Amino acid sequence: MQDNKQKTIMFPIKDQNQLIIQETLQSVYNSLKEKGYNPINQIVGYILSEDPTYITNYNNARAVISKIDRDELLRVLVENFLTL
């Protein structure tokens, strides 16, 4: 007979952080696109310089992306690019 008790699924913090970063980056991308900017160029400019003026204030995108540590953002991007 199988045990029908529900089990709590634990998600590693790393996965949660990656999900938050992914959702944030997508939101910022969408805001930049809606305002007519080239989102990729603007995000790359922000990452390279950490100059927040690369990101629009529209939809609070600048404040949202500023909450993410740039080194953590780069780490997640590289890990996902390399599918680690």
Judge whether 69 lies within some domain.
Answer: yes
At 42, the amino acid letter reads Q
Q: Collect all residues with Cβ–Cβ distance below 8 Å to 69 and sequence separation of at least 6.
A: none
State the average pLDDT for the chain. 89
Task: Give the residue numbers spanning the domain of 69.
Answer: 24-81
Count of the separate structural domains present in the chain: 1
Tokens read off for 31: 């805001």
Judge whether 6 lies within some domain.
Answer: no
CA angle centred on 47, ends 54 and 62, rounded to 5°? 45
Inform me whether the pLDDT recorded for 23 exceeds 70: yes
Tokens read off for 36: 């007519």
Judge whether 7 lies within some domain.
Answer: no
Residue pLDDT, tens place only, 40-73: 999 999 999 989 999 999 999 999 999 999 999 9
Judge whether 45 lies within some domain.
Answer: yes
Judge whether 5 lies within some domain.
Answer: no
Tokens read off for 24: 């944030």
